[in-house]
Amino acid sequence: MTPQRQLVLDAVRDLGHATPEQICTQVQRSAPAVNITTIYRTLDLMERIGLLRHTHLGHGAPSYSEEKHQHVHVVCHSCGAVSEAPLDLLDGVVGRLRSDSGFELDVTHLALTGTCHTCQSTPPEDE
């Protein structure tokens, strides 16, 4: 565990959810020389050893968080707001896919998208 790696891990913990770019900015506050390449390499490494995970929120860069920080993400493609739903929200779907086709759903890796309550009155802007 090098200093850079510790900083990346700390940044992810501090930020909760963050894109590689955001993590980089955070790390560079205490160590400006750290390169974004290192961020990517470290995130990749930590994901492989099961320390971190990433979620695609739909649009741009993926969002990294700690492995244990698990829930289903629901994002509004009008305003971009991300909310978190309990893991069991998709239990029914998981069971159905498993028995129908043996497919093992990873409910934390995807985000569900749609339109949030407040944006339904507002004209949509799309993702």
Partner DNA sequence: ATAGCTGCAAACGGTTTGCCTCACA
Partner DNA sequence: TGTGAGGCAAACCGTTTGCAGCTAT
110 interacts with a second copy by CB under 8 A: yes
By C-beta, is 5 or 71 nearer to DNA? 5
Q: 24 near 12, Cβ under 8 Å?
A: no
8-state DSSP, 6: H
Residue 70 CB burial class (10 angstroms; 0-12, 13-18, ≥19): middle
Min dist. Cβ of residue 8 to DNA (A): 8
124 in contact with DNA (CB under 7 A): no
CA distance 90 to 84: 13
State yes or no: residue 47 binds a second copy (CB under 8 A).
yes
Q: What residues make contact with a second copy under the rule CB under 8 A?
A: 47-48, 56, 58, 74, 76-77, 83, 85, 89-90, 92-93, 96-97, 101-106, 109-117, 120, 126-127
